[in-house]
Amino acid sequence: MSGGLPGFHNAPVSRALVVAAVLFSVPFGFRGRFLDLGLSYQNVYENLRIWRVIASLFAFSSSPELIFGVALLYYFRVFERQIGSNKYAVFIVFSMTVSVLLQILALGYLKDPSFNPLTSGPYGLIFASYVPFFFDIPISTKFRIFGLRLCDKSFIYLAGLQLLFSSGRRSVIPGLSGILAGLLYRLNIFGIRRLKVPDCATSLFSRFSWPLSNISYQRLPTVATDENIPRHQTRQMEGSHTTTADPMESSIAMLVSMGFDRASAVQALALTNNDVNLASNILLEAQSATA
């Protein structure tokens, strides 16, 4: 399943997260079994070691976990494009903080040595992102494999299950804590969804270059009326209409049912070669730009 437009265009915070996960995992995470990097009852309640808490937020403890985790972080960059970097940064801070607090409470309540230490990595953020993924990302295709009914979202769920049970019970608690954090954010507890990080803070991430972020794409106009569409973009859209088949009526109906007007839906589908996921991402990004 495509995670939206390629690269980290308009997703500088997601780019910084991926870079941080890689940089922390190499010197710290892969040595986690020796450093006891993950949260444990002893580290939290007996020997307060703040650096371990900070390192455990970003460092994966093994190469497979790093591969699956970075792939999911890269996919979930679509949410930064939808709500903007300012709000997405708040989502990151909230989900990580709440998930860590829930993990600490779980360790204090269980006091089970088999849970020590909990697996490290940005599990809170990854699994908190599954909440908007479940509610906000539409299903565009359905198919069967060996009699099983699957959809294009199934592969993202399977990657999450692989990560959730990668370390047995030690990874389940961070995963469930992340899901609870995502639900609390969606419920808008304390009005958290209205908060934004100042532009000066998020602009710092945009100054760092990364090869994947240099891939350009054509954005849909932020309004639906043709009069307000730039002339050069109008010519590109007209060219797309001549070279691309008309979008299927079912795809247009799906986007209209999500609240978009028909004209914008047709334009978005034409730009994305009738890819409903890409079209919905562009439309949501256009809405966030005018919000």
Helices (H), the chain: 12-25, 32-35, 41, 50-56, 63-75, 77-83, 85-110, 123-128, 130-136, 154-164, 169-186, 199-206, 231-243, 249-257, 262-271, 276-290
Mean pLDDT for the stretch of residues 230-246: 46
How confident is the model over 24-47, as pLDDT tens digits? 888 765 554 445 667 777 777 777
CA 126 to chain centre: 7
| % of the chain with per-residue pLDDT over 70 | 73
Rounded Cα gap, residues 237 and 234, in angstroms? 5
Out of 123-132, 175-184, 241-250, least confident range: 241-250
The length of the chain is 291
Rounded Cα gap, residues 235 and 224, in angstroms? 16
How confident is the model over 179-207, as pLDDT tens digits? 999 999 999 998 999 998 887 777 776 66
- Of 213, 211, 224, 288, which Cα lies nearest the Cα of 260? 224
Rounded Cα gap, residues 278 and 3, in angstroms? 8
Q: Cβ contacts of residue 170 below 8 Å, gap of 6+?
A: 38, 114, 115, 116, 117, 118, 119
How confident is the model over 134-151, as pLDDT tens digits? 998 888 788 888 888 899
pLDDT beyond 80 at 115:
no
What local confidence, expressed as pLDDT, does residue 180 receive?
Answer: 97
Amino acid 99 reads S
Rounded Cα gap, residues 74 and 156, in angstroms? 12
| % of the chain with per-residue pLDDT over 90 | 30
How confident is the model over 67-113, as pLDDT tens digits? 999 999 999 998 988 888 899 999 999 999 999 999 989 888 887 77
Structure pTM? 0.71
Rounded Cα gap, residues 211 and 125, in angstroms? 24
pLDDT, greater one: 20 or 252: 20
61 and 69 Cβ atoms separated by less than 8 Å? no
